[in-house]
């Protein structure tokens, strides 16, 4: 942005004359400010590399990824990856905890995220959006260090039913590297409950080093998009059939686990030991 563009940008923002969609997604703020701030982390800190971007269908799809790292940095890096390397805006489905919080909840909406619920998923997919979901939820992101790269249970498979209903393919996505950013060695359950958090981690740096402990470790990341799983070829009526949904959920989970294992080998050590 040159000075003149920056001025018109600032003037437009200050006059309130910009578009926000019905979910509260502010594309301009996301592209020009939020992703701009995340990019150094993406490029220089985690040195993220992407694999298999050609697997992304041109229209709507559901990207299903593993979740890890204690703090959902992986979701943000996935968003930068798809924006920068594929020119796609991904609409992430997040936990209601985030949406309850002041500041963060509304920033999350402005960045295009919404609540992980059936209605919002269906609505976004119907509009042909690229939607991202982390079915492991807190079980995945908050798992202890010794469980790293072991996929947790994939909820109730609601995401699969949504994809079938909307007639879109599922793109399995494996993220390697996020596991090492805040190795969760322990937990402070009493304090966590007091603060209303699902967990309060003990990492090698937190809470010992105070705010310094919040700096993520500079692990090397790889994000792989796998071959689409054809949920769009299933009759939408079958979204209500639990057997179909469970089977497809298992298939997605196994695909991601396999690709995680391979991708981890390919990356080698997380910190260039």
Partner 1 sequence: MSPVTRTILVTGISRHIGARLASVLAADPAVSRVIGVDTVPPASPTRDGGAQLSPLDRVEFVRVDLRSPDIAQVIAAADIDTVVHMSLMSGPARSRSAMKEHNVIGTMQLLAACQRSETVRRVVVRSTTAVYGSSPTDPAVFTEDSEPVEVPHTGYGKDASEVEGYVRGYARRRPDVVTTTLRFANFIGPRVDSPLTRYFLSPILPTVLGFDPRLQFVHEDDGVELLRRVALDDHPGVFNVAGEGVLLLSQCLRRAGRLWLPVPAPAFRFLGEGARALGRMDFTPDQLALMSHGRVVDSSKVTHELGWAPKFTTASAFDDFLQTRGGR
Nearer to partner 1, 22 or 146 (CB): 22
To partner 1, the closest distance from the beta carbon of 109 in angstroms equals 8
DSSP lists the bridge partners of residue 225 as 173
Pick the closer one to partner 1 by CB: 28 or 84: 28
- Give CA–CA dist 176/68, Å, rounded: 9
> Beta-carbon neighbour count of residue 91 at 10 Å?
24
Residue 119 or 250 having the CB closest to partner 1? 119
For residue 231, the minimal CB distance to partner 1 (Å) is: 22
Q: Are 113 and 221 in contact (CB under 8 A)?
A: no
Q: Which three-class secondary structure state does DSSP give residue 161?
A: helix
| Min separation Cβ 106 and partner 1, Å | 4
Q: Which is nearer to partner 1, 88 or 123 (CB)?
A: 123
**In the complex, least distance from residue 160 CB atom to partner 1, rounded to whole angstroms:** 19
Place of tokens 């995945």: 140
- Taking alpha carbons only, the member of 45, 16, 42 closest to residue 29 is 16
Nearest distance from C-beta of residue 159 to partner 1, angstroms: 15
Report residue 127 as tokens.
């509009």
Between 18 and 208, CB nearer to partner 1: 18
HEC-encoded secondary structure of 221-248: CEEEECCCECHHHCCHHHHHCHHHHHHH
Question: Footprint of partner 1 on this chain (CB under 8 A)?
Answer: 13-24, 26, 96, 99-103, 105-106, 109-110, 114-115, 117, 119-120, 123
């Amino acid at each position: 942005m040159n000075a003149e563009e920056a001025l018109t940008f600032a003037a437009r923002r200050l006059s309130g004359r910009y578009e926000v969609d019905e979910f509260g997604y502010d594309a301009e703020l996301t592209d020009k400010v939020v992703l701009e701030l995340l990019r150094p982390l993406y490029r220089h800190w985690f040195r993220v590399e992407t694999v298999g971007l050609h697997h992304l269908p041109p229209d709507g799809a559901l990207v299903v990824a593993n979740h890890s790292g204690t703090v959902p940095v992986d979701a943000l890096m996935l968003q930068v990856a798809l924006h920068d390397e594929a020119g796609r805006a991904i609409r992430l489905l997040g936990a209601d905890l985030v949406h309850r919080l002041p500041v963060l909840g509304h920033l999350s909406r402005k960045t295009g995220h919404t609540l992980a619920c059936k209605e919002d998923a269906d609505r976004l997919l119907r509009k042909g959006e690229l939607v991202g979901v982390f079915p492991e939820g807190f079980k995945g992101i908050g798992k202890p260090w010794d469980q790293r790269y072991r996929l947790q249970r994939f909820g109730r498979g609601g995401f699969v039913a949504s994809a079938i209903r909307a007639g879109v393919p599922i793109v399995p996505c494996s993220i390697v590297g996020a596991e090492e950013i805040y190795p969760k060695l322990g937990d402070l359950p009493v304090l966590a409950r007091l603060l209303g958090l699902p967990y309060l981690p003990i990492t090698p740096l937190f809470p010992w080093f105070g705010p310094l402990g919040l700096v993520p470790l500079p692990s090397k990341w790889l994000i792989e998009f796998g071959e689409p799983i054809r949920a769009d070829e299933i009759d939408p009526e079958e979204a209500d059939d639990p057997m179909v949904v469970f089977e497809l959920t298992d298939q997605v989970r196994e695909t991601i686990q396999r690709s995680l294992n391979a991708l981890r080998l390919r990356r080698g050590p997380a910190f260039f030991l």
